[in-house]
């Protein structure tokens, strides 16, 4: 017999299995298989495939493989239901969402067990994290529906949302997507992941029970082909996707040029940075929450530990000790820390990556795991920054550990990834934490915490982790459409500029040959050619004919000017006020230039005056378009900070060559971006003339770069460029499609619009919407009051 003292020293746990009888009964009731949930009813099951419990390998249900016609029926149902749903008052929609939240609450334990059986995650997590957060999302967004008209005056829903979600947080991802969509007045067709469709189907049953009007929520099950049929369906107005970066890219390309709104929440390789003065025990718990939460199948998992060299041995020892105590096994056991990997395919992927890492020289420290679809907690040391374990998203309980010496090293290592989803920073020095938080490229930063989520806080990535936010005000905004100006006569492509050697043109009336403006200096185009700029009476000047090389130089110069983004809004405002004043002083010169293009004196004066006022307006906004403290559940001040995107490529519209340029470049630079601008292809001289004004206004070199030439070719180079963070394109529909497609390479943000659609002289030419486009929210969780 075991003595009590022995038990206490071993601290073994007995098993504590969660009762799954209710779920087994539910599955038995659906033994014939599940159909899709379309227009408030389930279709008959067809083309079914098996869903398994990864912990046992047993088939637990059969669900239907959605075909194009199923997707079509679901989109039609959503379309039919949408006007009525949107016409309800915000209060009435809120009542529906509150009812849904309450019904979910009543079924909370059932949903937690079902999620665990379907996905393999420990019951402790589904019970204490996933399902409570699902419910919180519904309540929170019911609130947004209630106050929508006050908080987002004039905003309208997109229409029908097509949503595709992954298998790692099946019901939580559904709630993140469905709750804001419905609150805003959209209707939804959602496709859950093929490994984990069951809680979505249970959610549909609960929605019906809660009285959600038919057609408002539709669920179509199936694999990637079903997903592609949904995202590509012409009846879908907004696509929201969470999943792999690879599929995110496919979707970006698939819907290029379709005018569908898009948000992408993709992969990550997030750093967890431990400074020498961190509370090491707490930081070890941070690692547990980061990478051993949900078997490491978390997009924002802290999968790269960066630890200060001075404390690395001690930290590694503490971590390994903690690791050895983790219980891997039956997900339904309440003592389990690490459950089953979602599917044998995923297990195979983890094994293959770890094997490759081992072959590359990584030293592996592993706990134990039972037979079956399990993988042990794994710590990899001795990994080179370029090795597979340090660069690939593994999506398993595998973490790398490397060391750094200085905070700058830590930042460089943290940002040495193509992703930018999250970061976790550990130090008792809050100054240091906040300094580093500002420097890491990540959409979410946790200070002395990891993997904390709340419906009130925006979540989402930068770089190849995608764009758009879920949760909080920014998440709500992503489900609301901003009015899209429509062109009366859509823009057509201008004739390609004809390369003209300067010497072949008569000396008059051409006064001089303009240059490109790169890195604060005038630059001759690489081609050595210019092109004639037409005016009222023949050519009025020669504009440089820029090419790919010039764009690359300009992007490099823009990168070098990164100090602009780090300046305070006040400093940027001062420079921009000065710019406005200097342009004012030379107003008549610019007016003459515009007149020479064939504009009337009156129109030219209006354009210059409006441009000057617009610069003042954005100068004023430079220190006013600020962030917020988000109201989250835990003891944090959760900051939402609008950060610049980085380097923005801007292809300007043809008409109003000065005002079009100013309307796009100014909001971008006011927010701290650096710009490579392609001015109006027809009349670039209105912009190239600006270089003198920029010079005299102390705009640092490289903040604004001007490369004239063939707009679509230059914009294409910008969209292809992996060091450009966003492209704004105001040209033809075909050009817009091309830009969106090319942007998939590094998943840069795009804003493509018909160049002739917007009235640049009026309200459409200026406003907060431009500043929103020029920024991305960084959410920083700072401990507060705990």
Closer CB to ligand NAI, residue 204 or residue 583?
Answer: 204
Task: Tell me the closest approach of the beta carbon of residue 443 to ligand NAI, in angstroms.
Answer: 12
Task: Tell me the closest approach of the beta carbon of residue 164 to ligand NAI, in angstroms.
Answer: 4
Residues of this chain, 725-754, that bind ligand NAI according to CB under 6 A: none
H or E stretch including 178? helix 170-183
Closer CB to ligand NAI, residue 228 or residue 514?
Answer: 228
**Residue 422 interacts with ligand NAI (CB under 6 A)?**
no
HEC readout, 43-97:
CCCCCEEEEECCCCCCEEEEEECCCHHHHHHHHHHHHHHHHHHHHCCHHHHHHHH
Closer CB to ligand NAI, residue 255 or residue 308?
Answer: 255
Q: Of 35, 185, 227, 667, which lies in the binding site for ligand NAI, with binding defined by CB under 6 A?
A: 227
**Residue 172 interacts with ligand NAI (CB under 6 A)?**
no
Q: Of 60, 160, 251, 645, which lies in the binding site for ligand NAI, with binding defined by CB under 6 A?
A: 251
Residues of this chain, 3-62, that bind ligand NAI according to CB under 6 A: none
Q: Report how far residue 137's alpha carbon sits from residue 134's, in angstroms, rounded to the nearest whole number.
A: 5
Closer CB to ligand NAI, residue 393 or residue 725?
Answer: 393
Closer CB to ligand NAI, residue 224 or residue 344?
Answer: 224
Task: Tell me the closest approach of the beta carbon of residue 447 to ligand NAI, in angstroms.
Answer: 23
For residue 386, CA distances in Å to 30, 66, 362, 473, 581 come to: 49, 40, 12, 37, 49
Residues of this chain, 338-397, that bind ligand NAI according to CB under 6 A: 346, 349, 393, 395
Task: Tell me the closest approach of the beta carbon of residue 225 to ligand NAI, in angstroms.
Answer: 7
3-state helix, strand, coil in the chain (%, to 5): 45, 20, 35
Task: Tell me the closest approach of the beta carbon of residue 230 to ligand NAI, in angstroms.
Answer: 7
State which residue has the least CB distance to ligand NAI: 227
H or E stretch including 315? helix 312-324
Q: Of 250, 326, 412, 532, which lies in the binding site for ligand NAI, with binding defined by CB under 6 A?
A: 250
- Please state the φ and ψ torsions of residue 756, each to the nearest 5 degrees: -100, 0
Q: Report how far residue 446's alpha carbon sits from residue 634's, in angstroms, rounded to the nearest whole number.
A: 12
> What is 558-623 written as a DSSP string?
HHHTTHHHHS-HHHHHHHHHHHHHHHHHTHHHHHHHHHHTT--HHHHHHHHHHHHHHHHHHHHHTT
Closer CB to ligand NAI, residue 190 or residue 576?
Answer: 190
Closer CB to ligand NAI, residue 348 or residue 568?
Answer: 348
Q: To 10 degrees, what angle do helices 21-29 and 108-119 make?
A: 80
Task: Tell me the closest approach of the beta carbon of residue 748 to ligand NAI, in angstroms.
Answer: 18
- Please state the φ and ψ torsions of residue 519, each to the nearest 5 degrees: 60, 30
Choose among 320, 286, 314: nearest CA to 300.
286
CB 47 within 8 A of CB 112: no
Per CB under 6 A, the segment of 73-81, 223-231, 303-311, 623-631 that binds ligand NAI is: 223-231
Which of 265, 470, 607, 740 does the annotation list as catalytic? 265
> What is 419-448 written as a DSSP string?
--SEEEEE-S-HHHHHHHHHHS--SEEEES
Task: Tell me the closest approach of the beta carbon of residue 387 to ligand NAI, in angstroms.
Answer: 17
Closer CB to ligand NAI, residue 300 or residue 554?
Answer: 300
Q: Report how far residue 39's alpha carbon sits from residue 213's, in angstroms, rounded to the nearest whole number.
A: 9
Ramachandran quadrant class, 499 (left: phi over 0; alpha: psi -120 to 50; beta: rest): beta
Q: Of 65, 244, 415, 772, which lies in the binding site for ligand NAI, with binding defined by CB under 6 A?
A: 244
CB 692 within 8 A of CB 700: no
- Please state the φ and ψ torsions of residue 743, each to the nearest 5 degrees: -65, -15
Task: Tell me the closest approach of the beta carbon of residue 50 to ligand NAI, in angstroms.
Answer: 16
Task: Tell me the closest approach of the beta carbon of residue 63 to ligand NAI, in angstroms.
Answer: 12
- Fill in the per-residue mask, 148 to 167: x = in contact with ligand NAI (CB under 6 A), - = not in contact: ----------------xxxx
- Please state the φ and ψ torsions of residue 349, each to the nearest 5 degrees: -65, -45
Query: Could you confirm whether 265 is annotated as catalytic?
Result: yes
Provide the β-strand partners of residue 731.
Answer: 754
Among all chains, which residue has been given the structure tokens 């050697």? 501
Residue 509: is the preceding peptide bond cis (ω within 30°)? Answer: yes
Residues of this chain, 181-220, that bind ligand NAI according to CB under 6 A: 191, 193-194
Per CB under 6 A, the segment of 226-234, 365-373, 510-518, 697-705 that binds ligand NAI is: 226-234
Task: Tell me the closest approach of the beta carbon of residue 192 to ligand NAI, in angstroms.
Answer: 6
Closer CB to ligand NAI, residue 194 or residue 754?
Answer: 194
Per CB under 6 A, the segment of 133-141, 239-247, 445-453, 527-535 that binds ligand NAI is: 239-247
Per CB under 6 A, the segment of 18-26, 242-250, 501-509, 553-561 that binds ligand NAI is: 242-250
Provide the β-strand partners of residue 706.
Answer: 517, 677
**Residue 243 interacts with ligand NAI (CB under 6 A)?**
yes
Closer CB to ligand NAI, residue 297 or residue 673?
Answer: 297
Contact partners, residue 506, CB within 8 Å, separation at least 6 = none
> What is 336-354 written as a DSSP string?
-SB---S-HHHHHHHHHHH
Q: What angle do CA 692, 693, 698 make, to 5 degrees?
A: 100
Closer CB to ligand NAI, residue 242 or residue 424?
Answer: 242
CB 290 within 8 A of CB 450: yes
CB 602 within 8 A of CB 742: no
**Residue 247 interacts with ligand NAI (CB under 6 A)?**
yes
Closer CB to ligand NAI, residue 453 or residue 760?
Answer: 453
Closer CB to ligand NAI, residue 264 or residue 782?
Answer: 264
Per CB under 6 A, the segment of 174-182, 205-213, 238-246, 636-644 that binds ligand NAI is: 238-246
Provide the β-strand partners of residue 273.
Answer: 306, 425
- Fill in the per-residue mask, 113 to 152: x = in contact with ligand NAI (CB under 6 A), - = not in contact: ----------------------------------------
Task: Tell me the closest approach of the beta carbon of residue 377 to ligand NAI, in angstroms.
Answer: 18
Contact partners, residue 387, CB within 8 Å, separation at least 6 = 357, 360, 361, 362
Per CB under 6 A, the segment of 34-42, 244-252, 319-327, 759-767 that binds ligand NAI is: 244-252
**Residue 228 interacts with ligand NAI (CB under 6 A)?**
yes
Q: Of 52, 163, 168, 630, which lies in the binding site for ligand NAI, with binding defined by CB under 6 A?
A: 168
Half-sphere exposure at residue 489, Cβ-oriented, CA atoms within 13 angstroms: 3
Q: Of 23, 112, 299, 652, which lies in the binding site for ligand NAI, with binding defined by CB under 6 A?
A: 299
Among all chains, which residue has been given the structure tokens 């660069």? 391
- Please state the φ and ψ torsions of residue 301, each to the nearest 5 degrees: -55, 135
Task: Tell me the closest approach of the beta carbon of residue 353 to ligand NAI, in angstroms.
Answer: 9
Count of residues that bind ligand NAI according to CB under 6 A: 26
Q: Of 132, 224, 407, 438, which lies in the binding site for ligand NAI, with binding defined by CB under 6 A?
A: 224
Task: Tell me the closest approach of the beta carbon of residue 250 to ligand NAI, in angstroms.
Answer: 5
Which residues carry out catalysis? 265
Chain residues in the site for ligand NAI (CB under 6 A) = 164-168, 191, 193-194, 223-224, 227-228, 231, 242-244, 247, 250-251, 266-267, 299, 346, 349, 393, 395
């Amino acid at each position: 017999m075991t003595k009590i003292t022995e038990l206490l020293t071993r601290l073994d746990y007995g098993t504590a299995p969660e009762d799954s009888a209710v779920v087994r009964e539910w599955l038995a009731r659906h033994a014939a298989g599940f159909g899709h949930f379309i227009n408030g009813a389930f279709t008959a099951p067809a083309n079914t495939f098996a869903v398994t419990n990864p912990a046992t390998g047993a088939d637990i249900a059969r669900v239907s493989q959605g075909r194009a016609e199923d997707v079509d029926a679901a989109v039609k149902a959503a379309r039919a239901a949408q006007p009525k749903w949107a016409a309800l008052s915000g209060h009435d929609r809120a009542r529906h969402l509150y009812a849904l939240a309450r019904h979910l609450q009543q079924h909370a334990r059932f949903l937690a067990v079902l999620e665990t059986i379907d996905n393999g995650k420990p019951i402790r997590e589904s019970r204490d994290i996933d399902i409570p957060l699902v419910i919180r999302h519904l309540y929170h967004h019911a609130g947004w529906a209630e106050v929508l008209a006050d908080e987002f005056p004039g905003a309208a829903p997109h229409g029908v949302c097509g949503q595709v979600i992954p298998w790692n947080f099946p019901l939580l991802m559904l709630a993140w997507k469905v709750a804001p969509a419905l609150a805003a007045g959209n209707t939804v067709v959602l496709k859950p992941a093929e490994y984990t469709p069951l809680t979505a189907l249970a959610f549909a049953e609960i929605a019906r029970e809660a009285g959600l009007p038919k057609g408002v929520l539709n669920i179509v099950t199936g694999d990637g082909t079903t997903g592609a049929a949904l995202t590509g369906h012409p009846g879908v107005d907004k696509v929201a996707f969470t999943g792999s970066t690879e599929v995110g890219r496919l979707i970006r390309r698939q819907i290029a040029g379709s005018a569908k709104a898009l948000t992408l929440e993709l992969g990550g390789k997030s750093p967890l940075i431990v400074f020498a003065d961190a509370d090491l025990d707490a930081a070890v718990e941070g690692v547990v929450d980061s990478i051993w939460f949900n078997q490491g199948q978390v997009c924002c998992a802290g999968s790269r530990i960066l630890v200060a060299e001075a404390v690395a041995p001690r930290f590694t020892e503490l971590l390994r000790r903690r690791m050895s105590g983790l219980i891997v096994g039956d997900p339904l056991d309440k003592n389990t820390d690490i459950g089953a990997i979602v599917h044998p395919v995923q297990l195979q992927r983890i094994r293959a990556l770890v094997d490759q890492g081992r072959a590359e020289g990584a030293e592996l420290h592993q706990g134990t795991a039972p037979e079956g679809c399990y993988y042990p907690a794994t710590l990899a040391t001795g990994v080179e920054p370029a090795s597979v374990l340090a660069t690939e998203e593994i999506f398993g309980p595998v973490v790398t550990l490397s060391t750094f010496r200085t905070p700058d090293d830590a930042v460089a290592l943290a940002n040495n990834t193509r992703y930018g989803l999250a970061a976790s920073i550990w130090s008792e020095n809050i100054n240091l934490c906040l300094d580093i938080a500002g420097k890491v490229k990540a959409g979410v930063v946790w200070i002395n915490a990891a993997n904390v989520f709340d419906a009130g806080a925006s979540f989402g990535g930068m770089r190849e982790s995608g764009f758009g936010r879920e949760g909080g005000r920014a998440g709500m905004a992503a489900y609301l459409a901003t009015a899209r100006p429509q062109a009366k006569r859509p823009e057509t492509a201008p004739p390609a500029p004809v390369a003209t050697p300067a010497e072949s043109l008569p000396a008059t009336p051409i006064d001089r040959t303009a240059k490109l403006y790169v890195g604060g200096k005038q630059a001759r185009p690489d081609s050595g050619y210019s092109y004639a700029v037409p005016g009222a009476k023949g050519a009025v000047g020669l504009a440089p004919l820029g090419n790919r090389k010039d764009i690359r130089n300009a992007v490099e110069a823009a990168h070098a000017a990164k100090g602009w983004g780090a300046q305070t809004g006040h400093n940027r405002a001062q420079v921009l006020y000065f710019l406005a004043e200097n342009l004012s002083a030379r107003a008549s010169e610019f007016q003459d230039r515009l007149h020479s293009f064939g504009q009337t004196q009156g129109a030219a004066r209006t354009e210059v005056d409006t441009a000057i006022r617009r610069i003042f307006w954005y100068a004023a906004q430079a220190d006013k378009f600020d962030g917020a403290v988000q109201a989250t559940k835990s003891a944090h001040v959760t900051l939402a900070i609008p950060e610049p995107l980085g380097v923005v490529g801007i292809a300007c519209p043809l008409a109003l060559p000065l005002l079009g340029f100013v309307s796009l470049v100014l909001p971008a630079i006011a927010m701290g971006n650096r710009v490579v601008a392609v001015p109006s292809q027809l009349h670039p001289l209105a912009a190239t003339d600006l270089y003198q004004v920029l010079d005299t206004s102390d705009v640092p070199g490289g903040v604004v770069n001007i490369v004239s030439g063939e707009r679509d070719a230059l914009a294409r180079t910008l969209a292809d460029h992996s060091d450009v963070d966003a492209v704004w394109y105001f040209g033809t529909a075909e050009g817009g499609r091309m830009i969106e497609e090319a942007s998939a390479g590094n998943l840069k943000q795009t804003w493509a619009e018909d160049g002739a659609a917007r009235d640049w002289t009026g309200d459409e030419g200026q406003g907060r919407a431009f500043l929103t486009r020029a920024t991305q929210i960084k959410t920083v969780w700072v401990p507060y009051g705990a």
